Amino acid sequence: MVSTRSIARSDLPEVVAFIARLQADPTQYIGYLDTDADAIREQLPACEPLGLDGVIAATREGRLVGVLGTDWDTDPARVWWHGPLVDDDQWDATADALYAHACALLPTGGLEQELFVDARNERIGAFARRHGFDRERSSAILTRQLEELPSIREVEGVVVRPMADTERNAVAALHQQLFAGAHRPGARLDEGAQRFVLVAMRGDELVGYLAAERQEDGQGYLDFLGVPSTARGDGIGERLIAEVCHHLRDAGSDRIHLTVREDNHGARRLYGRLGFEHERIGVPWRRPRRIR
């Protein structure tokens, strides 16, 4: 018989070791959680809004056999599932028990639900289908070390700098145009102590922006990059990427990650040219918002 419960701080060492072991295997890997034990130890208590109360463990005869973390927001009204990560011969039953327990913690208004997994994690695909998730377009996850940095090439007439308050509306409008329905709305791109937005300006005109974060584990994450269609091909995207690499390295990061649609060949070519390497293909699964 499998039993489930929220974890306590004293469970962290065992739970972190369990997650790190499974995350190292692409056929088990789920997104939103790191592969590195130190990073996972930081991530679990940072799950919003419940912290460790929102991290559910499954045990069978006293042995830890599964974990599922909840991380949700109300704008957009969405939960990002951190799992289920299961190591059990009754995989489906354990994953379902974790999911039932965690769903009962969600706010009653209903949330959109999202899973993000390695394309090789086939078992979770069956789990997602069973629970009414739809498969979305897959993304490539790319990474780059920040030991050697791409050189900063000037683009004539264009200045790149941190976003000023007066530029917020223009950035939000461009963000909405390029990434409607994204996990983070334009007005909140720099919400949080470690998030920042760079803008590319040609005079008073916004000709590009980049939103990034320095994560709890110290690594960088490039969240969004956009150049209006009328300004593309001039090197503004390249300049913004080079700037963020320098900025993150100066802040102490030694690596940057990003996610880009698998079929966004133009952007992938650009990142490849600037030294980003392929890490994995990730598949998002989404379940529309329903009132429980």
Ligand X SMILES: CC(C)(COP(=O)(O)OP(=O)(O)OC[C@H]1O[C@@H](n2cnc3c(N)ncnc32)[C@H](O)[C@@H]1OP(=O)(O)O)[C@@H](O)C(=O)NCCC(=O)NCCS
What is the phi-psi region of residue 134: left when phi exceeds 0, alpha when psi lies from -120 to 50, beta otherwise? beta
Residue 94 beta carbon to ligand X: minimum distance, rounded to whole angstroms = 35
Q: Count other C-beta atoms under 10 Å from residue 45's C-beta.
A: 14
Residue 287 beta carbon to ligand X: minimum distance, rounded to whole angstroms = 24
- Size of the chain in residues: 292
Nearer residue to ligand X within complex by CB, 53 or 154: 154
Residues that bind ligand X (CB under 6 A): 178, 224-227, 232-238, 260, 264, 266-267, 269-270, 273
Residue 237 beta carbon to ligand X: minimum distance, rounded to whole angstroms = 3
Cα three-residue angle 41-44-45, rounded to 5 degrees: 100
Nearer residue to ligand X within complex by CB, 16 or 225: 225
- CA distance linking residue 138 with residue 119, whole number of Å: 8
Nearer residue to ligand X within complex by CB, 108 or 229: 229
Cα three-residue angle 56-58-60, rounded to 5 degrees: 165
- CA distance linking residue 272 with residue 268, whole number of Å: 6
Q: Which two tokens stand for residue 245?
A: 């690499």
Residue 20 beta carbon to ligand X: minimum distance, rounded to whole angstroms = 28
Nearer residue to ligand X within complex by CB, 149 or 267: 267
Q: Count other C-beta atoms under 10 Å from residue 168's C-beta.
A: 16
Nearer residue to ligand X within complex by CB, 236 or 245: 236
The residue whose two tokens read 């949700």 is: 72
Residue 114 beta carbon to ligand X: minimum distance, rounded to whole angstroms = 17
